[in-house]
Structures are given as C-alpha cells and as structure tokens.
Amino acid sequence: MSTSAVKRQSVTPRFGRIDADLSQVEAAIERSREQIFSEQHPDGYWCGELEADSMLEADYIFLHVLLEGGEPGKMRRAFTEMLRHQNEDGSWSIYPGGPGNISLTVKCYSASKIMGMGAENPVLVKAREWILSHGGVVACNTFTKIYLCALGQYDYDAVPAIPPEIVLFPNWFYFNIYEISSWSRSILVPLSIIYAKKPFKKLPAEQGIDELFVGGREYSNLRLRMDRKNLLSWRNFFLMVDRAFHVLEAVHIRPLRKLALKRAEKWMLDRLEMSDGLGAIYPAMLNAIVALRCLGYSDDDPQVIRARDEFEKLGIDCPNGSADYAEPTFRMQPCMSPVWDTAYAVFALGEAGIPADDPRMVKAADWILSKEVRHTGDWAVKVKNTQPGGWYFEFNNEFYPDTDDTAQVLLALNKVANPRERLQYDVSQRAIEWLFAMQCKSGGWASFDKDNIKMIFQYIPFADHNAMLDPPTVDITGRILEMLANYGYNRSDKRVERAIQFIFREQEPDGSWFGRWGVNYIYGTFLVLRGLQAIGVDQNEPQVQQGAEWIRMVQNSDGGWGESLNSYDDPNTRGVGTSTPSQTAWAILGLLAAGDNRSDSVAKGIRWLLERQKTDGAWDESLGEGKNRQAIYTGTGFPRVFYLAYHMYRNYFPLLALTTYQRAMQDAA
C-alpha cells in the first residue's frame, strides 16, 4: 500500500528503542479529527455505511418478485451488485475472501434466474456445479427453504415447522419466545405467520431451480434426517415434534391457529411502532412486509406502506455508478448504525482533545440524548421493576435498546460539557441503573436480554441460522467496566467484581478473549484489557499480561494486526489475517491498556497506522482495486452466519489508538 500520504516519520531514540516522533503522531491526529468532523451530519450525528453480503440483494429481488412490486431499475441494479461478488469457483461467500456458502449461493442462483439469466450462462453453470457438489438445495438453512417455498421451489411439508402457536406460550413456560434472542424473535414471529399462511407464487419453468436438487427434485429426500448414531438426542426429539406438527398441519387440526395468528399479528404491529421497521433489521423487516400481505393487508394499507418505506431506506442507490465501480448498482444495508457511530466518534474526538464544550460535540450529545429509550421493550419480560433507559443502535428501535450501545453512549456523553447538565446527568444515571439490572447471573452482560442462555434451543430444527441465543460476552462486559470506571465505580462494588471474575473465567488458554461482536479475538482481548485497566485491575496480574503477550505474538511482519473471519470456524487461526487499520488500532489499544508503551510491537503498530493514513486523514480498509474492490469485514453480526463492514471503524479506531499512544508517551516522558 502506498505511503505517500504520510512522509516516513522521523524517529528519536528512547530507552534503546525506536519510537515514532510524537510530532508526526500529533499531525496524524489532527488530520483524523478533521476528517471525522467532515462526516458529521448537520443534525449532529454520524452514520457510516454498514456493508454485508449479497444475501441482501438476493432477498431484495425475492421480496419484490413475490409481492409483484418494486422498481425494475433498482432490481436490475441490485442484480448487478450481487453478480460482482461471485467467487471464482462459482459460489458466493458471506464475507470477502471467505469460502462459499450454500444458502447464499442458492439464493443468488435463484435470483439470477428470476432476473432472466439462462441456466447455461457461465455464471450459473459454475454456481450450479458448486451447489451440487455441496449437497444441493436440501443443504440450505430453513430461512432459505421457506423463501424458496413461497416461489414454488421447495415443499412446505419438508421445511421445519415454525407454528405461530409459539407466541401463545406464557412467559413462565420454558419454551416461550423471550427465551430466544431478540433478533431471532423479531425474525421468527413474522416468519411463523408466513409459514402458517404458506404464500405461493408459481414461477415460469425457466426460472425454476429443479436442477439444483442432487439426483432431481422428485428423487430428493427433502426432510431433515434423524441422527441415527445418537437416537436419544435433543435433535431427534425436536425432529419428532416437528413431524407431529406437520401431521397436524396436513389434517388441519389446528384449534389455536386463529388465536395464534391474531396474537402474532398484534405482537408484530406493536413493535412496528417507534421503530424503523420491525426490529430495525433487514430480515425481520422483510418478513414483516410479507407477513402483513399474508394477513390480508393491501399494498396501499398504511402499515404496509410504512413497512416498505422503512425497508427501502436501507438501500444505497448508485444509478450512475461509483468511484470504484462504473456500472449502476443498488445495494442494501442490514440496518443503520447512527447511535453506535455517533457514540464512538464523540468518544474518540473527546479523547483526541476536542474541548468538551465544542459546539459540534454538544450538538452530537443533544442528538444522542433525543434517542434515549423511555418505553419498556422485550427486555422488561425478564427485568422487572426497572425504569426504561439506554440506547439502541439505529435511528429508532424503542423496543430493543442494547447494553453495548448504552455503554458506549455513556462513554461519549462523559466527554461532553452539555449546557443541559442536569438532563444529561439524569439520563446517564437512568442508563447505568438499567445496565446493572441487565447484568446476567454469571456476572457478564449480553446485548439485548438477560440470561438468554438455554442451550437446548440450538437443537430446534428451525434454529439452523446459529443465532438463537444471546449469552453474556466478554467484549460487552469489558466495555461496560470501562464505562463504569468513568462514572466513579470500582472493585468495591460487588457487581463490578462479579463482572471481573466472569471475564477471568472466560479467558482462553493462550491468553486471548473471544470477540462476539467484532473480529474476533483481537476485538475481545482489546475491550477486556481496556475494561480491566479502567476499573483498577493491576496491570501485572497474570491474566492481563497473558492477554498482552498474545497480542504481541500475533502481530504481522508488516507491523500491523489483522484477523480473518475464519477464526470463528477455526480457532486455531485466531489473530491470523491481513493487517487492517481497525484491528491494528484494537491491538495497540489492548497493549497500551496492559501497560505496554515501550515494546517494539507498539512502535511498529503506530508506524503502520502513520504510514497508511491518507492525505484526507482517513484510512483504507479494503482489498482489490476498481470493480474488484471489497471492504474487509471486521464486524460480527452472528458468528459463522453473518458479518459486517462498518465503514467508520477504519477511521475512529485509529484516531483513538494514536491519541491513547500519544498520551501514554507524554505521561512516561
């Protein structure tokens, strides 16, 4: 990568080692601050693009074909965007450079045929060969199969049942819907309506995908098979229950179906209020639109219009092409991240020396304050007698505040001297009390719910999207510890000590920590070390030094750090990957939090960031050039299932790392 943006820094000897000249660090910080401020919206917030895989474009095409709507030009541009991400072997991957994914590849193949591509087109020939060699359509997950059922390409009787009767289970019942993750809940409730109503649109023969069934559709065993090696297993138990549901469905013995549909409809409509669509996330929003139409809502019904409008807002339309890709494209985001990006931008800028009373900072804080949650949501089912508080991720998502955003917002607000001091104080205290109420029995924090840990749900047949639970994680817990320290808490508080012990128990044998919401062990380790440092854990504690040693051990030869998403599939590859600005910044922040401001590892990492900063103050986090250019994903939606590229990570994390390094070196001088 070119280093012309920043001259190779001058150096000064320090204790027998070579350090970056702090004047170069200061210049880089200044460029970065200005670049981040240049992206601030006039209303005060930041919102970078959130990028994900081609499933979004394929499902966009599916939705509009099923409901016979949508703008043909956008669909064509979405098709173009989808095609440019096909791998050389014919498959599509859930992250750039990753292995092919069967469900995604089948969706893209089906979307291609719907958009008029012939089966003998080289694009589809390669895709078909890959699909058949990986088990064909029957190897797809449940969500994919149900979408195919709606287009007549799979059999409803062969997919795992998602009966709407699940919403009738009382909250005290072991299998109630509040025992699964909030995102699965918002996806599955409308999907259960779709399953019950079984929409069907017959595609022309030339758009069908019968050729993707190994041995032919009529000869394929479409149903999930029992595990014959472990007959007495939870998987087999749930498969038997699933078969029973299908039998009752076939003979129309559904005494509670009408009540269940009414309850599911009400649940869904309630959560469409004060939200950017159901759950404010792409799959739930798409399912809600289809579910509304299945329930008889017309295209011009206000609920359908609003749901579709919110869904279309996720699109980024480039009818005239873009700087990287000349052809017109249209791509979808899985959701929007304004609260998250604003909180991190404000925090990084505050750490970088922007005055607390700077009007731009105050405006951002006021925008954040306007997004405080003041209504009870799904979290309140398990957390009784607690006042609503906290923040969500998107522009509006009142039913689903999360602990991670809330902690980062509180860190950001602590950097702003707001003229409305009393209001900001009251809001912050409410949020802290809400966070303490959300602490899990283990001492850690999950994202949206408390003690969402019933592992048995992973064996339910429709749980093959690998995201049924929301257990406590060390990355969120580390961030919350850092925040609590900023608000005066320490280890004398029993709740804080429980969180520390949770983190210690979760440390890996090699010293690292798993990253649930960022990629991966580098992310988890940096947040843990920052949290432990802030809350007062001695930097000489073995857990801290083992974590720091692991970070130093996985540094790349170029001086940076990177970790591929492959580490979620193969933990032996943890810390291995192409160096990126965000992950290099995380590693530096982790080392500094562990008291390491003198090692060559830190110095090389700082030089890596300085040499790769562009003239406009930003960093690049992508692979390839021109039409082959793709962002490197360093964000995690659901491990092994769905990953993200946060386009602002590449900028505010390096700023935070450079600033933290500058302060550490000045303090040590």
Structure tokens at 334: 């899985």
Structure tokens at 288: 């809600």
Q: Is 493 left (phi over 0), alpha (psi -120 to 50) or beta?
A: beta
Structure tokens at 80: 């173009």
In the residue annotation, 404 being an active-site residue is answered as: yes
- How do 11-14 and 17-20 pair as beta strands? antiparallel
Q: Is 321 left (phi over 0), alpha (psi -120 to 50) or beta?
A: left
Structure tokens at 263: 């309850």
Q: Which of 508, 481, 465 is nearest to 641 (CA)?
A: 465
Q: Which of 129, 60, 101 is nearest to 290 (CA)?
A: 60
Catalytic residue selected from 19, 242, 402, 404? 404
The single-letter code of the amino acid at 601 is: S
Cα 134 to its chain centre, rounded Å, is 27
Contact yes or no for 288/307 (Cβ under 8 A):
yes
The residue whose two tokens read 């509040």 is 178
3-state SS, residue 98: coil
- H-helix or E-strand containing 237? helix 234-250
| Separation between Cα atoms, residue 413 and residue 430, nearest integer Å | 13
Q: Which of 160, 99, 165 is nearest to 465 (CA)?
A: 160
Q: Which of 549, 184, 662, 546 is nearest to 400 (CA)?
A: 184
Structure tokens at 78: 């979405």
Contact yes or no for 351/415 (Cβ under 8 A):
yes
CA atoms within 13 A on the CB side of 309: 10
- How do 315-318 and 50-51 pair as beta strands? unpaired
| Separation between Cα atoms, residue 517 and residue 451, nearest integer Å | 18
| Separation between Cα atoms, residue 499 and residue 521, nearest integer Å | 19
- How do 50-51 and 622-623 pair as beta strands? unpaired
The residue whose two tokens read 């749901």 is 307
Contact yes or no for 35/618 (Cβ under 8 A):
yes
The residue whose two tokens read 């750490």 is 351
Catalytic site positions:
404
